[in-house]
Amino acid sequence: MNMMRFSSLRAAALLCGISLCGLSVPALAQGETVDMHVDTDTAGGEVIDRNIFGQFAEHLGQGIYGGVWVGKKSPIPNVRGIRSDVVAALKAIHVPNVRWPGGCFADEYHWRDGVGPASARKVHVNSNWGGVPEANTFGTDEFMDFANQIGADAYVSVNVGSGSPEEAGDWLEYMTAPTKTTLAKERAANGHPAPYKVAILGLGNENWGCGGAMSPDHYVEEMKRFAHYVHNFNPEQHTANQMKRVAVGWDSGKSDYTEEVMKAWASRVYSWDIEGVSLHNYVVGGWPPHLPATGFGEDDYAASIREAFNMDKLIVRQTSIMDKYDPSKKVFLSVDEWGAWLAPTPGSHEGFLAQQNSLRDAILAAVNLNIFARHADRVKNANIAQMINVLQAMILTDGPKMVLTPTYHIYHMYVPFQDATFVPVSYDAGRYVHGKDSMPRLDAIAARDKEGHLWLSLVNIDPNNAVSIHLDHATSATGQVLTAPKVDAVNTFAAPDAVTPQAVKIEAGAKGLVIDVPAKAVMVVRLD
């Protein structure tokens, strides 16, 4: 079987629009060994920006209230109202940034409602998510405290849909101005004299839909005003660590915001600029979301993983639009909402988007992260939706109980890839075919971390057959593998370790280094 370089696969993908589509790669027979070459001789690979491992936390269901915020008087151990078990778990996955307060919620959010004494804060209706009261107990200062406790940067989305540049400008001044202005003094009086760092600024959210149903032209005019009037005054972000502004892009193909935003950017004047454009895309299987989160079999598994591979097609399409206006890749693509959007947990509030998280979702996450890594030249940020208790979550909570999901374990296993340098891998991916669903059987990326260690991720998508990988040039592999007896295996409060990583250590034998990857598994190893 001929070896095919992944770079040639990507070239083919550009031509036919989806990775590996149309290529007649024969399926691998069971027990077959795949030769893999990690091309360590190629220098100058792209850095896999740690921000592709970002999280998204919206005021939605129990994403914030119950998931992050329990209140200062809660019997659940907390620091200033923020639950300590969740903070410890998130610190371990080195969350680079958290996107907040939405989502659709952001374009109805008025920051003033969420600062100052808790008892004086306005209670609103959360009209997007279940019509429940939003007490604004968790506001700007609580969010910044949370981000600081987990060691993450703040990605703040301002209200373009129902707000004004003045309101957003004031919010940024409240957060970032040194203690001379009225708003900075107000922040100091609320307990934080030093300016906050706002690493990323979202200029609206899905403004084609919940963000105001704006035409692309209308959005572009609004976006320019926000990009001009919303300043970051933090002295530590003036030269280094400058705030990155992300405009709204992809609108599910209705017209294409990305085209209009990039066209405007190419002829921008001195008074405004952006550094990123967003892309949102969920694995959903059609609206309303109906893919089961539990109790499913190979049909649903194959359909959802096949749909996950569409992310590559979308990025290729968005990149080709961006390349027209920005061939030197100054503006990055921010995939700031992605993940599996499944049928809600039976008995849960439909507006809370609560769902279980299975081994299938872990594999889906690894497939997406690998796609982002391969597009590291353009994709510099991504935020999985959503961090806790909502959609494809890292963590589920119920009162004092907390459980880590299979997706959490993927993020933990992938920590070595944060800011590592992409290294090309050559292999025959083969095909996993189930009914009408056909996709690569094997998916792999490699990268070198700052200490010089070489890391390899191997995703065996086939739920029925293990695969053996033969690697040249390596003598041992040490790391972890995540798998389970069934694709719909989940972690529960009663059985929190049903899907949990197992340590692996493989030494080279007479045939060199051969790594056996179980069926339906993700393995991350350090190669020595």
Q: Which residues here bind ligand AHR, judged by CB under 6 A?
A: 58, 102-104, 205-206, 337, 385-386, 391
Q: How far is the CB of 61 from ligand AHR (least distance, A)?
A: 10
Long-range own/partner contacts, residues 114-121 (CB < 8 A, 24 or more apart): 114/138, 114/139, 114/140, 114/142, 115/139, 115/140, 115/141, 115/174, 115/186, 115/187, 115/190, 116/186, 116/190
- Do residues 434 and 306 lie in contact, with contact meaning Cβ atoms separated by under 8 Å? no
Residue for token digits 């749909």?
Answer: 307
Catalytic residue (one of 134, 206, 222, 275): 206
**Number of residues that this document lists for the chain:** 528
**Residue 194 identity (one-letter amino acid):** A
Closest distance of CB 314 from ligand AHR, Å: 15
Q: Rounded to the nearest whole angstrom, what is the least distance from the CB of residue 385 to ligand AHR in the complex?
A: 4
Clarify whether 173 is annotated catalytic.
Answer: no
Active site residue 166: no
Q: Which H, E and C letters describe 179-241, residue by residue?
A: CCCHHHHHHHHCCCCCCCCCCEEEECCCCCCCCCCCCHHHHHHHHHHHHHHCCCCCHHHCCCC
**Tokens read off for 92:** 């371990």
Rounded to the nearest angstrom, the gap between the alpha carbon of residue 413 and the centroid of all alpha carbons in its chain is 15
State the catalytic residue, choosing from 58, 275, 307, 337. 337
Q: How near is the Cβ of 494 to ligand AHR at its closest, in Å?
A: 28
> 19 or 55: whose CB is closer to ligand AHR?
55
DSSP annotation of 88:
H
What is the C-alpha separation between 68 and 111, in angstroms, rounded?
19
Please name the residues in contact with 313: beta carbons below 8 A apart, sequence gap of 6 or more: 13, 17, 18, 19
CA distance 122 to 108: 14
Token pair, residue 329, equals 């890749």
Q: Which residue is nearest to ligand AHR (CB)?
A: 103
Other beta carbons within 10 angstroms of residue 425's beta carbon come to: 21
Strands (E), 325-436: 332-340, 379-385, 395-398, 401-404, 421-423, 425-427, 431-434
> Using CA atoms, how far apart are residues 215 and 223, in angstroms rounded to an integer?
12
Q: What is the token pair recorded at 428?
A: 């025959």
Closest contact distance (angstroms) between CB of 56 and ligand AHR is 7
Q: Find out whether the peptide bond into 502 is cis, omega within 30 degrees of 0.
A: no
Shortest Å, Cβ 307 to ligand AHR: 16
| Chain-centroid distance, C-alpha 518 | 26
The catalytic site residues sit at: 206, 337
